[in-house]
Structure 1
Amino acid sequence: MTGRERVLRTIEGKSTDKLPWVPFAGVHAGKLLGYGAKKVSTDVDALVQAALEVNRLYHPDGQPIMFDLQIEAEILGCDMVWSDDGPPSVASHPLEDTTEIPTRMPKADEGRLSMELEATLRLKKEIGETTALYGICCGPFTLASHLRGTEIFMDMMLQPEYVHELLAYANKVAKTVSGYLIDAGIDVVAVTDPLISQISPAHFVEFMEKPFTELFESISSKGAKSSFFVCGNATMNIEPMCKTKCDSLSVDENVNLANTKKITDTYDITIGGNIPLTSVMLFGNQQDNMKTVVDLIDSVTPGRLILSPGCDMPYDVPVENAIAVEHAVHETESVRAMVANYQSKGIEFTGELPDYEHLEKPLVEVFTLDSATCAACTYMWAAAQDAVKSMNTKIDLIEYKYTVPQNIARCREIGVKQLPSIYINGKLAFSSIIPSREELVKRIKEVL
């Protein structure tokens, strides 16, 4: 059985000889050949070479061409900030000061979309018979947020009709781009919308159910499979997501995989995930990665499971860790014996926590995966900066990125359960929900 068959049969609920493994190696693919993140994000030859190296080293059953949620936004007028070890992030929002609804649709030969489509065509010929190709499509809510900025969260309360119109436009973009990807040879369109974890189930039903249902119907009508890919603590929205009739869901480490699978099983939907990106894949060792995979597999009921990182793999994930994951997925029984008595040491916290009871001024701490690469984290960090800037008083504001080992240990010491989160004077204020400026200002004033 080929890897492609494993992925597609698993999504269809059919039996396979082994569990499928899908490494979401975006810019990490460039690391394998010594290419920086921008190189594999802008040079089609480098991108294809790097993807082939992922295929050679990691023996994936499926793999993405790129993992970049900014391609559509860049074409539609958002400025980019580039990183050496991550995909670009959105730096401007063309609809920030207007409620105009755009009409422009990305064209297949525009921007970096043309590069992604060319790479897809080439990789389809090279590995498409044996490997399921994933195309990452920016979901309509995250795309609308890229265009509008953090104001969209207030718009949902104050201008709901505008939000409906903006989402309808963003969804039309998603349908257009997913169609291009399918025509180029993509097997699974991963509609990736990290900001879904930042809204309530009521808002999901009000604003998201219709566009996402239409989008997944469009993907299915073109003969491809769909994956609803969400980051952050999307636990409350799992069942509403299932009702959009996607073929599969993919979640990150903030979501309990076993509990989620009980829900997805009732809807005959395949679940994918959710190997921790930083604490395990980036900073763990081979045994940590193998034990994590075995424990995940043992925690869930059989069938309808795809093992993958919780999101886009960090650039510097050690090659041996990803290889260890593949071995644990495909050779689970032998690996289970290897790690039966293994206990992870974890990361020791060597710093000091602030004296929260005796602070001279309010302290706002934002715990993120990384605001430079995680869309939900980007907007939570922006919301915190905006709120603090609007206040006429001195406030300490700091971001702790989970990509730093000591910050992982700090999260454990403070008791941070979900990312992104905002703490004020050492107490949880917002967990995996992006606050409006007014909401955050009010919470800060409570401690003044």
Structure 2
Amino acid sequence: MKNNLSNLSKKGLLFAALRHEEMPRIPWVPFAGVHAGSLKGYKADQVLTDKEKLIESLLEVNHQYDPDGQPVVFDLQIEAEILGCDLVWAENAPPSVATHPLASTLELPTRLPEKTDGRLPLVLDAMASMKTEVGSHTALYGLVTGPFTLASHLRGTEIFMDMFDHPEYLRGLIAYTTRVAKRVSEYYLDAGMDIIAVVDPLVSQISPKHFRNFLSEDFTGLFSFIREKGAFSSFFVCGDATKNVEAMCQTAPDCIAVDENIDMLAAKQITDQYDITLEGNIPLTTCMLFGTQQDNMKYVLDLIDAMFPGDVLPKNLIISPGCDMPYDVPVDNVVGTMQAIREPETARLMVANYQSGEIDLDQVSLPNYEQLAKPLMEVFTLDSASCPACGYMLNAATRVFTELAGSVDMVEYKITEPKNVARMHKMGVKNLPSILINGQVKFSSIIPSNRELIDALKEAIK
């Protein structure tokens, strides 16, 4: 039987969305990972290694942003660290993976994480505390690293060659990382999590054919496992995963979460066919980090109007940032987002005559690509230090840059800097991450193999 719509709690509202019921309003889930630390003056490395600082920061998120649901930790390196990857820590972003223990071997690991390994004790204690403090009214997310991204942490960029050179090894590695995801999911569920979000950014970087060949069966089994444990599941992917949305639906998660690279209206037409909830996709930098409060309110209102015109009751939608919010997102922007979701009619009055400022394209100058002495690789990323897909795209470019020593030039543009947002718009870059060669987009939201990138550069050298 459906809940009485007028009696739904915030937590109940989110559960109704995940049960695919009509709702009185759309649920709100701020993905505040390291940003949570900024609310209390703690750096990213502090909030991800100190239990008391983490809990204090999470409670501040709950107080200031009044979420229907919230993640406890947003760090896709927790499992990788346990399994032997070295990390590089930052003050305003999650750590990144620096070493890949399987980069030069076709070994298949068997070890599964124990509750006492790495930072799991910190995470599990924080989950238990948050369950006690806010769990009665806020749905809590446990985020696990998806099997493909975890495999890439262990294997490095070799994983993209494995699809062609070592397909059976890759299937075995994915089967292993799926077992890791199930083990960690079980720990998080035991700690009281309501939703397990399987976060796998690199899914956007492969073709539907490769998704079905290497990932479909394992993801289907993982979501079935979570369902059998009595919890909800979310399939969380970053980047332009448009090509894989239907294949993701066929693995049967309760929800699919996407970022700004995805056309939400088009994606929802697909997810609705499978009666799967769609979550997203407030732009992280252009809107949340660099925009105004009105920009964020208007984005939310436009999204709601596009999805549910007229008096249609909302269904199968959760509004969230497209991924983990940048550390320095202004609090007013997040509060404005929440207000637009909770009080859309009031928000409409506030932005009725608002016009967003134009991006100053003249602040950047472009190279004369016709006169370059050697080919130029330009890698556009959200931030290679915090976005796994961006990091592996940059690694692929760096590897080839090193291999072709002296024959090409390379530069990275992170759109965490306003001038690089302008450069992105001026050059017509639509999706992140992307590799351009001599000003032309060659690889957009798909990480090239070593051979593909070298061939593209050699063509430019001619």
TM-score higher than 0.5: yes
- Aligned partners of 1:153, 1:395: CA distance in 2, in Å? 22
Structure 2: stretches of 5+ with no match in the other structure: 1-7, 309-313
Task: Give deviations 1:173-194, integer Å, cap 9, x for gaps.
Answer: 0000001001100001000000
Is the contact between residue 388 and residue 441 of structure 1 (CA under 8 Å) also seen in structure 2? no
- Are the aligned partners of 1:347 and 1:405 in contact in 2 as well (CA < 8 Å)? no
Aligned to 1:284: 291
Number of residues of Structure 1 aligned to a counterpart in Structure 2: 448
Give, in whole Å, the separation in 1 of the partners of 2:160 and 2:364.
35
Matching of residue 95 in structure 1 with residue 102 in structure 2: yes
Aligned-partner Cα distance in 2 for 1:338–1:38: 37
Percent identical pairs in the alignment equals 57
Instruction: Report the Cα offset of residue 298 of structure 1.
Output: 1.1
Secondary structure of the 1:312 match is: coil
The RMSD of aligned alpha carbons is 0.8
Q: 1:6 aligns with which of 3, 13, 26?
A: 13
Which residue identity is paired with 1:382? N
Q: Deviations over 1:299-320 (max 9, x none)?
A: 1143111000000000000001
Maintained 8 Å contact 1:101/1:165 = yes
1:307 matched to 2:319: yes
Match of 1:223 among 226, 230, 238: 230
Q: Which residue of the partner structure matches residue 4 of structure 2? A: none
In structure 2, what residue type is equivalent to 1:326?
Answer: M
1:105-160 deviations in whole A, cap 9, x for unaligned? 01112111111111000000000010000011000000000000000000011111
Q: 2:148 corresponds to which residue?
A: 141
Secondary structure of the 1:176 match is helix
Q: Is the contact made by 1:37 and 1:85 (CA closer than 8 Å) also made in structure 2?
A: yes
Q: Deviations over 1:407-435 (max 9, x none)?
A: 01111000001100000000111000101
1:377 aligns with 2:384: no
C-alpha displacement of 1:15: 2.7
Residue-by-residue CA offset, 1:75-128 (whole Å, 9 max, x unaligned): 000000000100000000000010000011011121111111110000000000
Out of 256, 268, 276, the residue aligned to residue 263 of structure 2 is 256
Whether the 8 Å contact between 1:365 and 1:398 is mirrored in structure 2 is yes
| SS of structure 1 residue aligned to 2:447 | coil
The one-letter code sitting in structure 2 at the alignment partner of 1:423 is L
Distance, in Å, in 1 between the alignment partners of 2:280 and 2:352 is 22
Q: Which of 251, 269, 274 is matched with 2:281 structurally?
A: 274
Q: Distance in 2 between matches of 1:12 and 1:346?
A: 40
Matches within 5 A, 1:30-179: 30-179=37-186
* Residue aligned with 1:15, SS: coil
- Which one-letter code corresponds to 2:76 in the other structure? L
Which residue does 2:3 correspond to in 1? none
Q: In the alignment, which of 305, 322, 343 is matched to residue 331 of structure 1?
A: 343
Code of the aligned partner of 2:433: P
Counterpart in the other structure of 1:341: 353
Q: Which moved more, 1:244-253 or 1:389-398?
A: 389-398
**How much does 1:18 deviate?**
2.1
Q: Distance in 2 between matches of 1:193 and 1:63?
A: 18
Which residue does 1:399 correspond to in 2? 412
The answer to whether the Cα contact below 8 Å between 2:364 and 2:422 also exists between their aligned partners in 1 is no
Deviation at 1:2, TM superposition (A): 1.9
Amino acid in the other structure paired with 2:138: T
Between 3-12 and 168-177, report the one with greater CA deviation: 3-12
Distance 1:303 1:333 in 2: 19
Question: Match for 1:408 among 414, 417, 421?
Answer: 421
Question: Which of 4, 16, 24 pairs up with 1:17?
Answer: 24
Q: Distance in 2 between matches of 1:333 and 1:392?
A: 58
Which structure 1 segments of 5+ residues have no match? none
Matched, 1:428 2:435: no
2:351 counterpart letter in structure 1? V
Q: Is the 8 A contact 2:205 2:447 kept in 1?
A: yes
- Structure 2 counterpart of 1:341, which letter? N
* 1:393 positional shift: 3.2
- Distance in structure 2 (CA, Å) of the matches to 1:318 and 1:181: 30
Q: How far apart are the structure 2 equivalents of 1:300 and 1:14? A: 15
In 1, the alpha carbon distance for the partners of 2:94 and 2:44 equals 6
Q: Write the distance in 2 (CA, Å) between the matches of 1:106 and 1:429.
A: 39
Report the residue type matching 1:24 in the other structure: F
TM-score (norm 1): 0.99
Asked whether the 8 Å contact 1:387–1:438 carries over to 2, the reply is no
Deviates more, 1:413-422 or 1:390-399: 390-399
Per-residue deviation at 1:333?
Answer: 1.6
Counterpart Cα distance in 1 of 2:129 and 2:117: 18
Please give the alpha-carbon distance, in whole angstroms, between the structure 2 residues aligned to 1:203 and 1:247. 23
Distance apart, 1:341 and its partner CA: 2.5
Match of residue 203 from structure 2 = 196
Separation (CA, whole Å) in 1 of partners of 2:25 and 2:442: 43
2:431 aligned partner: 418
Distance (whole Å) between structure 1 residues aligned to residue 64 and residue 200 of structure 2? 29
Normalising by the residue count of structure 2, what TM-score does the alignment of the two structures yield? 0.96
Q: Which residue of 2 aligns with 1:236?
A: 243
Q: Aligned with 2:413: secondary structure?
A: strand
Tell me the distance in 2 between the aligned counterparts of 1:221 and 1:314. Answer: 34
Give the one of 208, 212, 223 matched to 1:205. 212
Please state how far the C-alpha of 1:346 moved relative to its aligned partner. Answer: 3.4
2:327 and 2:278 map into 1 onto residues whose CA distance is 24
Query: Residue 435 of structure 2: SS of its match in structure 1?
Result: strand
Deviation at 1:392, TM superposition (A): 4.1
SS in 2 for 1:85: coil
Distance in 2 (CA, whole Å) between partners of 1:440 and 1:258 is 33
Deviates more, 1:384-393 or 1:342-351: 342-351
